[in-house]
């Protein structure tokens, strides 16, 4: 799949679920619960044991029906391993120019993490495709609007603190997409994967309403 198709897939879904667990098996169950609830863009964080195996397994199970990325990628070496395992996008908590360049080399979407305008410009100049604003809960949805005032061209994906209740506010303030963590997958810590599926469905239902109000953020 070419990079522009991956970008379009994120635009259509507007949500990326963050899969982070203490074991590979728990990560797979968490991912499957999200998919069952209708969220089909997933970031498997490298803080999860055997992350590469999780990505490979999900790719084998779901093929092109699910968009898979690797998260918490700190360097190009890790990014390269994730790409070979089947990752279509690479998400980082910070800006690493070498990692962004590697993603461009292999036509994989790059999503570095930023917090300031300087970091956004640095990431864009290096070739980043989507800018992850992290940790977004520190300043809230209004910060997205503030960033887009001087940088309207920046495709921003707030991550951290995104919930069903405030989902609309992020898009109202100009978010392109959102990364969703514990507000979606929290019940998995107690083995309640059915609750994760129910929360995923709630996010999907809310997103359908948001797309009607802001069809082209």
- Residues taking part in catalysis: 43, 132
- Token code pair at residue 197: 């599926």
Q: How many residues does the chain have?
A: 217
184/49 Cα distance (integer angstroms) = 20
Please tell me whether residue 132 adopts helix, strand or coil conformation.
strand
**Residue 60 neighbours by CB under 8 Å, 6+ apart:** none
> Look-up: residue for tokens 């080399």?
105
Q: What is the DSSP string of 28-92?
A: HHHHHHHHHTT--EEEEETTSTTHHHHHHHHHHHHGGGSEEEEES--SHHHHHHHHHHT-SEEE-
């Amino acid at each position: 799949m070419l990079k522009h198709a991956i970008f379009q897939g994120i635009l259509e879904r507007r949500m990326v679920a963050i899969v982070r667990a203490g074991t590979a098996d728990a990560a797979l169950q968490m991912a499957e619960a999200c998919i069952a609830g209708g969220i089909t863009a997933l970031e498997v964080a490298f803080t999860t044991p055997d992350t590469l195996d999780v990505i490979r397994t999900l790719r084998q199970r779901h093929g092109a029906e699910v968009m898979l990325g690797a998260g918490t990628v700190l360097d190009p070496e890790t990014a390269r391993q994730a790409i070979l395992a089947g990752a279509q996008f690479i998400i980082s908590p910070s800006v690493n120019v070498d990692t962004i360049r590697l993603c461009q080399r292999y036509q994989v979407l790059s999503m570095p993490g930023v917090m300031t305008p300087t970091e956004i410009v640095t990431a864009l100049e290096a070739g980043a495709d989507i800018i992850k604003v992290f940790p977004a809960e520190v300043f809230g949805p209004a910060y997205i609007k503030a960033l887009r005032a001087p940088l309207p061209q920046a495709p921003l994906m707030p991550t951290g603190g995104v919930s069903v209740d405030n989902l609309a506010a992020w898009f109202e303030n100009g978010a392109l997409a959102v990364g969703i963590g514990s507000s979606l997958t929290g019940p998995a810590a107690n083995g309640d994967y059915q609750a994760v599926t129910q929360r995923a469905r709630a996010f999907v239902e809310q997103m359908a309403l948001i797309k009607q109000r802001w069809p082209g953020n």
